[in-house]
Amino acid sequence: MLESYMFPEKLKKAIQLLGDDVNWKIVELLADRGKVTWQELLDGSGAVHAKTLNFQLKELIGVGLVDRYEVGRSLEGNTGILSFDLSPWGKDIVRGLQSALNTKQNE
């Protein structure tokens, strides 16, 4: 008898987020370049506004696909340099999807 298997919610949410064109562009950019600054993401992601990019990043970070780094933040609260990269889990997911897409295109 087959065991009942529930599709993991975290994976379901990640796949839903990657169905958005801006989110997919963000993770592709991170997969290609590695750690990049917020400004590089804004310039290369296709996000029309900074608010859009902030919203998309918050969602991608929340589900665990992207990690956020901040260097240089002072005790006075001055913002340091923000950068982002795919999390290890995010790298696995994106590489798998890219591989599947490449295989499909070569058929």
Q: What is the DSSP string of 71-91?
A: E---TT----EEEEEE-HHHH
What token pair was written down for 13?
């949410």
Q: Which CATH class is domain 14-69?
A: mainly alpha
Phi, psi of 73 (to 5 degrees): -75, 130
What mean pLDDT do residues 60-83 have?
82
**What's the pLDDT score for residue 71?**
80
The reported pTM is: 0.82
**What's the pLDDT score for residue 107?**
64
What mean pLDDT do residues 37-57 have?
90
Segment 25-44, tens digit of pLDDT: 999 999 999 999 999 999 99
Q: Would you call 56 exposed, middle or buried from its count of C-beta atoms within 10 A (0-12, 13-18, 19+)?
A: buried
Q: Where are the domains of the chain?
A: 14-69
Q: Tell me what the pLDDT averaged over the chain comes to.
A: 87
Phi, psi of 25 (to 5 degrees): -65, -40
| Residues sharing a CB contact under 8 Å with residue 52, sequence separation 6 or more, in sequence order | 22
